[in-house]
Every structure is written in structure tokens, then in C-alpha cells.
Amino acid sequence: MASKLLSILATSLGPTQARLELKWMQQQARHPAQLTEMVTRRSRGEPLQYILGSQPFGPLNLLTRPPVLIPRPETEHWVIKLADRTSASPTSPKSLLDLGTGSGCIPLLLCHLLPQGSLRTHGVDISPQALDLAKENAAVCGIPPSSPGSCARNTRNTFTATLGNFLDPMFSEDATIDPPYDIITCNPPYIPWHEYLKLPRSVTAYEDPKALFGGPTGLDFYHAIAHLVRQTNFIRPGAVVALEVGHNQAQDVERIMRVHAHVRDTEIWPDPWGKQRTVLAHL
Ligand SMILES: C[S@@+](CC[C@H](N)C(=O)[O-])C[C@H]1O[C@@H](n2cnc3c(N)ncnc32)[C@H](O)[C@@H]1O
């Protein structure tokens, strides 16, 4: 039985990866029929993380469910670096807005890594499925929501998730948005049309196109963020905006932040594979 399942997986994954993945599925499956079903789904190209239902993200283990974007290792890398560079303490707590929060991975990891009581985070997403998952992930990680409109100091780091569309020019008027913010984070949909057409089926058939497609050039969402950053009192002086970018987009995004958001100080962080992955704008 196991050798038959292994050979099914090996056809698409190769023998080494097939052995590893079969071991993880065996650890998770409660009965043989479930294991067979997992192998069948995997051999049809479904991402392993959707089959296993979770994905490590730093020290967290986050729930994963289609069609919400699976948190990626390159995102984990810059979020850990951002935590290292952020000085927040319960005596000077920071307020963070995460645009397109998906599974909630970015604010939840920051809440986990920074001192308790130093961070109040708010994740916004257009997808109700993403919001449900982000709230479940917050519960799994033991990160509570903050009470709406509360100015009281929290003793814990908090995460609140609400529905919203940050492409809407009136987004900042939404009652749940509570500026000014000290930190804006965003891993927006950034795949341009010509690249979206070339993505593997294992991505397009399972992950939400709304999480991937960033408009014809892939840059639509960065323009919307620049529009927000430019608004009076949306972010505090000294704030940081951390934006994940796609292939060859870092310079364009730096330019958008400089020209349209009037930011003078920007930097680019590479990912672990040497690709320019995150644009930081310091206000
Ligand atoms: C690339 S995913 C990132 C998800 C998560 N932050 C991560 O890093 O794994 C982009 C997210 O933006 C959300 N999104 C797309 N368009 C949006 C919009 N106009 N307003 C708010 N969220 C949006 C998608 O639903 C998706 O969850």
C-alpha cells in the first residue's frame, strides 16, 4: 500500500520529495482511506499545505485553507527582519495596519515576536474567507483582538481583522480604520497579467486570483498605498511602510513611494535567494 502511494507521488514529485511528503501525510492521516485521498489530491497538483492544513511561519504554525494565499518563506524572512528592526515597548506601543492580510501571517508573527503590550495590529482584506482564516489563526496563536475604538493601553499584543478594500479611494474613511499608524505592512497582489498567465496550475487552480493578480503591470496596489501614505494624518512621522514586491518591481515601487507618496528615504531588502523582495519607506 505505502509503496503504491509512494510511486504515485514520485511520478510528479521525484523520489526524495515523494518520500518526505508521504511521511508528513502519514503522520496526519487518521485512517488509510484518508491517506489515499491525500495522495490523490497531491498527485493532481494541490499544494501540500492545503492538504496538511497548516504551514510553519517563523515559530508559528498557521492554518491554511483554499483559496487563501499560503504564507511564503520569503514573506516570513522579511517579517522576522522587520521585527528585529522595530523598537516597540509597552511604554511606547505601536499601531500597525496590514493591507491584504490573507491568513494574518504578517501581523500575527510581529505580535508574536515583539514584546507583549507593544503592538496593536489591524489586518484588512477584501476576502471573507481570508478574514475567517486570519481570525482563526489569531485564536490558534493566542493573540486577542483589541476592543474597537478603545484607547486603553493593552497588556497584550492584539490583532483585529476587518473586511475592506484598500483600492477604494474612500478606504481611509472606513470607521474601522484608525489612523495614524506607526507601521504599514503589505504583501499585495503583484503578479502582472503576462506572468499570471504563466503561473503553474498548482497556484492558479487553488489560490485566489484576487490574492495574486496586481493589475496589468502588477503595480496597481502600490499606487493605492502611496495614495494612503500621502494622506494627512494617516501615518505618524517616523513611520515605516514595508512592502513586499515581485520580480523586478523594487525600483518601480521605490519610485512610486518617492514620487507619489513623497517619501525621501527608501531601502530594498533582498530575500534569502538574493532577489530584491521588500521595499522599506521611512517617513
Ligand atoms: C498576496 S496576498 C497576501 C496575503 C498575506 N498578507 C500573505 O502575505 O500571505 C494578497 C491579499 O490581498 C487581498 N486583497 C486583494 N485585493 C484587495 C483589496 N482591494 N483590498 C483588500 N485586500 C485585498 C487578497 O484577498 C489577499 O488575501
CA of 188 to the centre of ligand 1 (A): 5
Q: Which three cell numbers stand for residue 120?
A: 496593536
CA of 67 to the centre of ligand 1 (A): 11
Highest mean pLDDT among 52-61, 151-160, 174-183: 52-61
Lowest mean pLDDT among 119-123, 179-183, 195-199, 272-276: 195-199
Could you tell which of 110, 122, 133, 187 is best to mutate to test the pocket of ligand 1, judged by most ligand atoms within 8 Å of the CB? 187
* CA 185 to ligand 1 centroid distance, Å: 11
Residue of 213, 204, 220, 208 lying closest to 252 (CA atoms): 220
Supply 240's cell numbers.
515605516
Rounded to the nearest angstrom, the distance between the alpha carbon of 98 and the centre of ligand 1 is 9
Among 65, 68, 127, 204, residue to substitute to test ligand 1 (most atoms within 8 Å of Cβ):
127
pLDDT tens, residue by residue, 196-224: 888 988 888 999 989 999 999 999 999 99
Complete domains list, the chain, with CATH: 2-44 (no CATH), 57-61+67-282 (3.40.50.150)
Residue-wise pLDDT tens digits, 229-250: 999 899 999 999 999 999 999 9
Give 143 Cα–ligand 1 centroid separation in angstroms. Answer: 21
What is the C-alpha to C-alpha distance for residues 181 and 100, in angstroms, rounded to an integer?
16
Query: What is the chain's length?
Result: 283
pLDDT band, very low/low/confident/very high, at 152 (cuts 50, 70, 90): low
User: What residues line ligand 1, using a CB cutoff of 6 Å?
Assistant: 69, 71, 75, 100-103, 105-106, 124-127, 130, 164-167, 187-189, 208, 210-211
Backbone angles phi and psi of 45, in degrees to 5: 105, 5
